[in-house]
Structure 1
Amino acid sequence: MLDKSKKERKRNEIEPLINERIKYSQIRLIDTSGSQLGIYSSSEALTIALNAGLDLVLISEKSNPPVCRIIDYGKYKFAQEKKAKEAKKKQHNVTIKEVKMRYKIDVHDYNVRINQAFRFLQGGDKVKANVIFRGREIQHTKLAIELLNKMAQDLSHISEIQQPPAKDGKNMIMILSPKKI
């Protein structure tokens, strides 16, 4: 039983109150064209809406008195869902893409990593450049820092350094983010 009531409460939080569900004694009424009709009792407003063949929808319950509008609820709900989809489309989640290499990287391999990082940055993602050390190679951190700085220099026209080269265990890491235009 508790689960059902939680679901109902959640649904009520998402969906606005309509028609008979509106329990306020006084409400501010707005018609289909958007002009205010005045303050009515809930029952009077509901009869006006039903006579027009439309629904009475609670728009804002935080104002005093609460604001209700006479509209077709199906169209209203469709418009709200469409707005939510548009807002979701406009969002861009920035992800961190990783480019791994060793400090003894060959020129061609380095160019491949630069091209990968370039593609990631063009796509609006951040790039985590990771130089991996094995065994005694950890002694050559200066070479890794030089490599990462060279990479930052080669990509400076499209990116900026968010986190400078830093040692992270047996790795040397640098994070690049796309330049803001």
Structure 2
Amino acid sequence: MFLFFIEIFFLNIYVKLKEVLDIKLFKTKKSPNNKDLYNDRIPQGSYLIIDEKGQKLGIFNRTEALKLSEEKEIDIVIVNADSNPMVARLMDYQKHRYNQQKKNRETKKKAQVSVLKEIRLSPTINTHDLNTKLKQVHKFLKQGNKVKISMRFRGRMINNYKLGETVLKQIIQDLTSVAQIENPLKLQGNQFTAVLTPSK
């Protein structure tokens, strides 16, 4: 009799311990994202199935939905898990995932804030320094930034502004393959300025 109570005691401890472990495992288990709910990953429930052409095929349970997917030799992907019934679509999952990733990259790219960078040139700049400045302009434009090119004339140098204007026009012309002119070249006081934006 004593041994019987001992067995019951340890059995209760085992059951309680198992319940605690099961709860912890359940809590730490991560649910897949909606975009990952496809094929055998779709949960039990009712589904409104839409085919590849966008036509509604009706309401199916999980078993029927998977069977339909297998018969048509195409993936079944949940596109709305919050509705009742859930909405699933017959499609190529890998292609769908690729398009989603591409769309996310494009959205992220458009969301990037364009910064106005400035490159200052001297009317007496030598060829080596000019090439270095041009490389900087190319770098800024490729990063998606706008570039303000400026040339300041000091003292009597303003009398030779035509020469500086010619140099700047040539620079802008050389950049037309990677840039568009947002603000055309103009002389304000003793300084020429122009703003370029990356080509689309």
TM-score normalised over the length of structure 2: 0.43
Larger radius of gyration: 2
Structure richer in helix, relative to its length: 2
